Structure 1
Amino acid sequence: MSELKPLIAQELAQPVDPRVAAFAASIADQYGEASRAVLFYGSCLRTTELDGQMLDFYLIVSSYEAAYGKSWLAGANRRLPPNVFPAEHDGLVAKVAVLSEKDFYRLNRVGASAVSVWARFAQPARLVWQADAAAQAQAVEAIAGAPVTLFDMTFPMMGVDTQYTILDLWKRGFELTYGAELRAERKDRSGSVVDADPERYARFGPAVVAAIAERDKKRGKTLKIVASREAVEKRWQQLRRNGKILTLARLAKASATYAGGIDYLAWKINRHAGTDYVIRPWQRKWPILGALVMLPRLIMGGAIK
C-alpha cells in the first residue's frame, strides 16, 4: 500500500498556533451540523506569521443546502465553487472558501476544470477542525488526489534526455499551476514554495509515484502509457484559459459575498508583486466594474501573470 495517505494524515494532524485552531472552530460553529472539516493552508502556514496577515481556510460542508438552506448562495456555490467569505476572530482575519465534500474530492482530481484546488492541496495543509473520524478520513481521501494530479500533469511536460530530481518535478508542476491562474506572485514564487520545505517534498515525491503505480495496477494495467506531451500541453492551455476566466467570474461573485473584496485583491497584489496600486472610492462602490478596469492594467504591467 502506498504511503501517500498516511503521510497526508500525519501532515494534516500536525499542531498549529492555538489561535488558528480557535479561529477554525468559530468558522465551523457558524455552519452548525453542515460543517465537516476546516483546513488551514497557504503562506501563513508556511511562514507561521499571523498578525497583520490574511489567513486562508477551506471549510468543507456536507452539502450546500445544509450550509445555506434555501439561500441563493447554495446555487452559487454549486455552479461556481467555491464561495469565499471574510472572517474575523480574536484580532485575526481570514478568507474562508466553502466547498462540499463531493466538490472537494472532485476538484482535487485530474478532471477538474481548473487547477485552483489541487494546486493548493498538493502543498502542505492542516486539518484544524473536524466533525468526526469519518470527516477526517474523507479529507485525507480527497487531498490524496492533489499531488497525484500534479504529477500526472507534470511528467509529460518535463524535458527529454535530461536528468531531474524529485524536487525539480515539484517545481515544474507548481510553475505550471501558477501559470494557469491570474497570479500576483513573482516568477520565482513557484520554486520558493518547494524551497521553503524541500525535505517535505523529497519525502512525499516517492509516495506520490508509488500511489500512481498502485492506482494503475488496481485498474488492471500491465503497462502504463503516458499521455503525449502534445495532448497534455493542450490540456494545460485549456486550464490556463479556464483559470483566467474563472478568476474574473469568482471576483464578480465575491462582490456579493465578500465585503471589501476589491481592497483585499489590491492588498494581495501589492504584497506579492511589489506594486502600490490604490483602490479609488468609485471602485469600492462598483467593485465588479472596478476590478474589470484594474485587472487589464495590472496584467499589461506584469503584476499579474
Structure 2
Amino acid sequence: MTIFGPNDTLCAFILDEWTKDVPKAVVDAAEDIARRYGDSVEGVLFYGSCLRTGEIEEKILDFYVIVKSYRDAYSGLFLAAANKILPPNVFYHEMDVAGITIRSKYAVLSREDLHKRSLPTCLNVSVWARFCQPCKLLLSKNEETTRQIAGDVGQTVLTMLSKTLPQVQPGAGSREVWVAAFENTYASELRSERSGKGLEIYLLDQDRYDRLSPIAFDILGHSIDPVELKHQPARWPVVKNRLGWFARRINGKLVSFLRLIKASMTFDGGIDYLAWKIKRHSGVEIEIKDWMRRHQIIAGLTLFWSSRKKGAFK
C-alpha cells in the first residue's frame, strides 16, 4: 500500500492553522491536564466543537494529550497497559477559571500511536477521522515536535481522502469528497449522530476544506479537470475500497464498544457523561440509576444495549 507523506505545502497549511489564538481558559485547562503527566507530554491537541465555535461555557472541551510513552505517562501499570492495548485512555477534568467551571474530556495517546494511526495502513478510523478536521496544537515540547505532529496531522488528511476517492465520481470536487469521507467515518464508529452529519461537518468549515483540498488532491494525484479524466476507475479498486470500508465499520463499532466499557472504568462520572452525550446527539433520554455508578462495567454494557434499542447507536 502506498503511503503518501505530507509535503511542505500541506505541513505549512497545518502550521498556519495552529497560529490562531484560542481562549486563555482553554490553555489553562490544557496546562492543568498536562501537569498530571509531567515531562512525558509532547503536546496537547485541542479539537472539536469548542475549537470551531470558541464557546466554552457549559461545554466540554476536547483534548488529546500526546505523550512520549505510556510507561512514562503513568505511575501504575494498569493504565499504561490499558492505553497500550486499546488506545486511547479517556478521562474527565474540570477546573475553575475566573469563577467559571471549565470541563474537559481528554484522551491520552503516545507519539508512536499518533503516527501509526494517521497512516492508511491503520484499519481504525478514529484518529485520522478526527484530526483531518481543524485542530490546534498547544504546549508543544519544541519546534521539532511541532513539525512532526503537523506531519502526522497532515497525513490524516491524506489518509481520509485517499480512502474516499475510489468511491466518488472521477472529477469530484471538495464538497463531494469530504461529505462522503465524513459519512463513511461516522458510519465506522458507534455514533449517536443523525443522518446528514457529513454535510454538516463540511459546511461548518467549508472554506477551510476547500482551501485544503487542492493541496491534498495534488499529492494524491486526483484531478477535478474533466479534460484530464480519460477513463473511469477500474472496477476491482472500487470493490476493494468498499470491502475496506466494510472491515473498518466492523472494526470501528467493536473498538468503540470496548472503549465505552473501558471509559466507564477510567472516566470520572463516565456513565453520566455517556448518557449526556447520547442525549445531546440523538435526543434519546437515558436514566442513570445509583447502582450504575457503583458497578460501571456492568452499567456500561446495560447502557449500550438499552440505548441501542432506543436508536441512539447505528
User: TM-score, normalising length from structure 2?
Assistant: 0.88
CA–CA distance in 2 between the matches of 1:158 and 1:298?
33
AA in 2 matched with 1:78:
K
> For the Cα contact (< 8 Å) 2:90–2:106, is it kept in 1?
yes
C-alpha deviation, 1:42, in angstroms: 0.7
Q: Is 1:175–2:197 an aligned residue pair?
A: no
C-alpha deviation, 1:213, in angstroms: 4.1
C-alpha deviation, 1:159, in angstroms: 4.1
Local SS of the residue matching 1:73: helix
**Matching residue within 9, 27, 44 for 1:21:** 27
> For the Cα contact (< 8 Å) 1:2–1:207, is it kept in 2?
no
C-alpha deviation, 1:268, in angstroms: 0.7
C-alpha deviation, 1:211, in angstroms: 2.6
> For the Cα contact (< 8 Å) 1:4–1:208, is it kept in 2?
yes
> For the Cα contact (< 8 Å) 1:16–1:128, is it kept in 2?
no
CA–CA distance in 2 between the matches of 1:230 and 1:2?
33
Name the counterpart of 1:157. 167
Name the counterpart of 2:292. 283
Moved more, 170-179 or 187-196: 187-196
Local SS of the residue matching 1:262: helix
C-alpha deviation, 1:73, in angstroms: 1.2
Alignment of 1:1-305 (within 5 A): 3-90=9-96, 91-159=101-169, 164-213=172-221, 228-305=237-314
CA–CA distance in 2 between the matches of 1:283 and 1:243?
25
AA in 2 matched with 1:243:
G
C-alpha deviation, 1:69, in angstroms: 3.8
C-alpha deviation, 1:192, in angstroms: 0.8
Moved more, 282-291 or 228-237: 282-291
C-alpha spacing 1:255/1:297, structure 2 compared with 1 (3 Å): closer
Question: How many residues end up aligned between the 2 structures?
Answer: 293
Deviations, residues 107-158 of structure 1 (Å, cap 9, x unaligned): 1111223111100001000112212112211210111111101111101111
Name the counterpart of 1:218. none
Which consecutive residues of structure 1, in runs of 5 or more, have no partner in the other structure?
215-224
AA in 2 matched with 1:28:
A
Local SS of the residue matching 2:139: strand
AA in 1 matched with 2:9:
E
CA–CA distance in 2 between the matches of 1:159 and 1:204?
19
C-alpha deviation, 1:12, in angstroms: 2.1
Moved more, 185-194 or 31-40: 185-194
Deviations, residues 202-244 of structure 1 (Å, cap 9, x unaligned): 0001111123349xxxxxxxxxx98711111111111111111
Deviations, residues 84-129 of structure 1 (Å, cap 9, x unaligned): 1111122101111001111001111112231111000010001122
Which consecutive residues of structure 2, in runs of 5 or more, have no partner in the other structure?
1-6, 223-232
- Shift >6 Å, 4+ stretches: none
Q: Percent identity?
A: 38
> For the Cα contact (< 8 Å) 1:166–1:205, is it kept in 2?
yes
Name the counterpart of 1:220. none
C-alpha deviation, 1:262, in angstroms: 1.2
Local SS of the residue matching 1:127: strand
C-alpha deviation, 1:18, in angstroms: 0.8
> For the Cα contact (< 8 Å) 1:156–1:232, is it kept in 2?
yes
AA in 2 matched with 1:79:
I
Moved more, 174-183 or 105-114: 105-114
Name the counterpart of 1:217. none
> For the Cα contact (< 8 Å) 1:175–1:190, is it kept in 2?
yes
CA–CA distance in 2 between the matches of 1:196 and 1:273?
19
User: TM-score, normalising length from structure 1?
Assistant: 0.91
C-alpha spacing 1:131/1:2, structure 2 compared with 1 (3 Å): closer
C-alpha deviation, 1:70, in angstroms: 4.6
